[in-house]
Structure 1
Amino acid sequence: MNTASKTRHVFILFLADIVWGIAFVAQSKGGDAVGAFSFNGIRFLIGALCLLPVIKILDKKELTVNRPESKKQKKELWIAGSCCGIALFFASNLQQLGISMGAESGKAGFLTATYILMVPILGIFLKRKCGVKIWIGVFIALIGMYFLCMNGTFSLSGSDLLLLAGALCFAIQILVIDHFVSHVDAVRLSCIEFFVTGLGSCIVMIFTDMGPSAGGLAQWAQSLCTWDAWIPILYAGIFSSGVGYTLQIVGQKGLNPAVASVAMSLESVVSVIAGWILLGQMLGGREIFGCVLMFIAIIIAQLPDREYTK
C-alpha cells in the first residue's frame, strides 16, 4: 500500500473515532433507559439492516471488492462474520455494562482505548515481535490508569474491570478482522458481524432486561417506548454501528493492525469532549492527568518501530 492509500485509510479510521467518541454519550443514556443488552441488541440489528441497501447499491454499481460468488467464498464470509460478531458481542456488552454501572463517558473512552496497547501485545502470540516502545507505552498506561481509576488504593471498581475486559475483546476483534478482511467483502463482513452481535445480545436480553428482576416484559416495553431510549439507539445503530464499524473494517484493510489502532486512538479524546459538552461530565485534575498519560502511552506505543513486523 502506497503512502497516499495509507493516508486515506487512516483518515477513514479518524472519522470512525469521531462517530464512536460521541457514541459513548448515546451509550450512557440509552443503556440507562432500556438496559445494556437491549440497547446493544437493537442497535446492532439496526446497523445490520442499514447495510443491506448499501450492499445492493455497491453490487449494482460493481463497486464491491471480493464479492462472494462460490459456495466456498460464501462459507468463508459467514465464518469471518460470525467470528468477528462473537468478538464484538463480548466487547460491546462488557463495555456497555461498564458504562451502565456508572462509568463516565470520558473515563469509559480512555479505558476502552487501552485495546490499542493490547493489540500489539496479543500479537506476540501470533509470532509478531513487540518492540521497546510498546513496553514503555504499557508502563505509562498503567500509571495513567492508576490516576484515572484508582482513588488512593490498588483496587479497580467493577465498572473499570468490565471496561478493561471489553477493551481486551476489542483488541481480539481487531486481530480477527485483520485475519479475514483481505479475503472477503468488507461491507458484507460488517453486516454479518452486526447481525451475530445483535442476535446474541437479544437472546441474553430476554433473560436479563426483560426478566422478573428487571421488572418484566411490561416494564421493559414501557421503557423502550420513549425518546430517551430511541434517540441514543438510533444514533448508535445507524452511526456507531452501521457507519463507525464499517469505517473501521474498510479503513483497517491493508494496514498493520498496530498502525490501525493508533489511528483510532482519538476516540478516547472525542469521548471526553462529548461527555463534557453534551452531559456536563467534568473530570477532576487527577483523572485528567491520568487521561493525558494514557493518551501519551497510546501514541508512544504506536510510533513506527522496526522491531514490530506484520
Structure 2
Amino acid sequence: MKQFRGALLLTLTALIWGTAFVAQSLGMDHLGPFTFNGVRNFVAALALLPVILFLRRRKSPAAQPGAAGNYRKTLWLGGVLCGVALAVASSLQQIGIQFTTAGKAGFLTALYIVVVPLLGLFFKKRVGLNIWISVVIAAVGTYLLSIKENFTIGTGDLFVILCAVAFSVHILLIDRFSPLVSGVELSCVQFLTCGVLCTVAAFIVEQPNWNDILLSLGPILYTGLMSSGVGYTLQIIGQKDTPPAVASLIMSLESVFAALSGWLILGESMSPKEAFGCVLVFAAVILAQWVRPTAKPRAATCRSEVAGGK
C-alpha cells in the first residue's frame, strides 16, 4: 500500500507539472527567469508555513522530531542541498529554453529518467532489468512525443541537458533525506533556499521591479502554490516509498499530461506519432511497477545507508 500511495502521489505530481506549463510561459512575459523562479519559490515556502504549524500542533511534545538537534541539522542540510539542486536545475532550464524549442527542451529535460539510474549506481542503488527496459521505452516515447523537427544539439540544448543532470541529483537527494525528516518541512526549506539563490541572481543579471511582478501575479501564484508548493511537496512525500529510478519514470508522465492537457483543454492537435509516444511512456511506467526486483526493505536500507543523517 505504501508503494501504491507513493506511485499515486508521484503521478499526481506529474499531472500538476504537466498542466502548469501554460502558467509558466505566461509568467515569463514580464519577468526574467531568475525573478520568476525567485518569487514563485518564496510564495511556495510561505504557503507551507501554516501547514507546518498545523502538523506540529497535532503532535504531542514527545513526538516532536524537531525538538532533537540532529533532526534540525538533517532537515536544514537536506533542505539546503535540495534547494541548491533545484535552483541550478530550474535556472539552467529557463536559460536553455530561450535558445531551443519547447519540444526539444521537454525531451532533454526528461532525460533524467536515464541519468537517475546511472547516477544511482555510484550510490549502490542498483535496479532490475525491467527498470532499464522501462527507461529505454520511456526515452523513446518521450522523443516521439516531444520532437517535431530535425534533432540537432545546440547551445540551448546543452543547458537543458545539464538541467536534466541537476534534476537527477535533486531526485537522488530527496531519496536520501525524505525518509529522515518531515516532507513538508524539507520542501519548505528547499523553496526558501531556491528562492534566495534565484533572487540574488535576479538582482545581478536582471532588473526586477514590483510592477512587473504584479503583472505576472496570476502565473506566479499558480506555479508557486500548485507547481512548486503542492507538486514538489508531493514529490518528496511520494519518494519516501518509491525507489528513485521508478520515481523518475513516473514523473516523466509530465510530458504526457502536458500533451493531453493541450489536446483536451486548448484544442491542440496530436499526431499518431505523439499519441504512440504517450502510449509508450504509460507502458514504461506500468512495466516498472509490475515487476519488482528482489531487494531489502526500503526502511532497513535507509537506516543502514544513513548513520546519523531524490
Fold-level similarity (TM above 0.5): yes
Q: How big is the shift at 1:31?
A: 2.1
Asked if residue 263 in structure 1 is aligned to residue 260 in structure 2, the reply is: no
Query: 1:301: how far off?
Result: 6.2
Q: Residues 152 and 22 from structure 1, CA distance in 2 versus in 1: closer, same or farther, beyond 3 angstroms?
A: closer
Alignment deviations for residues 3-28 of structure 1 (CA, whole Å, 9 cap, x no partner): x2222222222221221111222212
Match of 1:214 in 2: none
> Residue 49 of structure 1 is aligned with which of 29, 46, 50?
46
The one-letter code matched in structure 1 to 2:68 is S
Matches within 5 A, 1:23-172: 23-62=20-59, 67-101=65-99, 103-104=101-102, 108-137=105-134, 139-140=136-137, 148-149=146-147, 151-152=149-150, 155-172=152-169
Q: Residue 188 of structure 1: which of 167, 185, 196 is its match?
A: 185
Q: Which residue identity is paired with 2:101?
A: A
The change in CA–CA distance for 1:302 and 1:208 in structure 2 (over 3 A counts) is farther
In the other structure, the counterpart of 1:234 is 221
CA change 1:294–1:260 in 2 (3 A) is closer
CA-CA distance at 1:223 after TM superposition: 2.9
Separation in 2, partners of 1:93, 1:279: 27
Match 2:11 to one of 11, 14, 18: 14
Query: Residue by residue, what CA displacement relative to the aligned partner does 1:169-201 show, whole Å, maximum 9, x if unpaired?
Result: 111111101111111121111100000001100
Can you give the 5+ residue segments of structure 1 that lack an aligned partner in the other structure?
Answer: 211-216
Q: Tell me the distance in 1 between the aligned counterparts of 2:268 and 2:163.
A: 22
Question: How far off its partner does 1:132 sit?
Answer: 3.6
Seen in structure 2, the aligned counterparts of structure 1 residues 97 and 304 have a Cα distance that, compared at 3 Å, is farther
Could you list the per-position Cα deviations for residues 96-118 of structure 1 after superposition, in whole angstroms to 9, with x for gaps in the alignment? 333444633x6544443332232
Q: How far, CA to CA, are the matches of 1:298 and 1:117 in structure 2?
A: 13
CA distance in 1, matches of 2:101, 2:294: 36
In the TM superposition, residue 59 of structure 1 has moved relative to its aligned partner by 0.8
Distance change (3 Å), C-alpha of 1:63 and 1:252: farther
**2:308 match:** none
- Letter matched to residue 268 of structure 1: S
d(CA) in 2 for partners of 1:253 and 1:307?
18
Runs of 5+ unmatched residues, structure 2: 299-310
- Percent of aligned positions with the same letter in both sequences? 43
Distance in 2 of aligned mates of 1:171 and 1:308: 22
Cα RMSD, aligned residues only? 3.0
User: In 1, Cα distance between the equivalents of 2:95 and 2:288?
Assistant: 28
Give the Å deviation of 1:261: 2.5
Question: When the two structures are aligned, how many residues end up with a matched partner?
Answer: 295
Go from structure 1 to structure 2 and tell me whether the alpha carbon gap of 1:192 and 1:39 turns closer, same or farther (over 3 Å shift): same
1:25/1:274 contact within 8 Å kept: no
Assess if the C-alpha contact under 8 Å between 2:131 and 2:245 holds in 1.
no
Which residue of 232, 236, 239 maps to 1:249? 236
Please state how far the C-alpha of 1:45 moved relative to its aligned partner: 0.6
Q: 1:63 to 1:266 in 2, by over 3 A?
A: farther
CA distance in 1, matches of 2:269, 2:204: 35
Shift of residue 159 of structure 1?
Answer: 3.8
**Equivalent in the alignment of 1:213:** none
CA distance 1:142–1:91, shift in 2 (3 Å): same
Instruction: Name the CA distance, whole Å, in 2 between partners of 1:193 and 1:67.
Output: 18
* Secondary structure, counterpart of 1:85 in structure 2: helix
Q: Partners of 1:117 and 1:301 in 2: how far apart?
A: 13
Output the amino acid matched with 1:225: L
Distance 1:108 1:63 in 2: 47
Which residue identity lines up with residue 126 of structure 1 in the other structure? F
Q: CA deviation at 1:242?
A: 0.9
Verify the 8 A CA contact 1:18 1:270 in the aligned structure 2: yes
AA matched with 2:44:
G
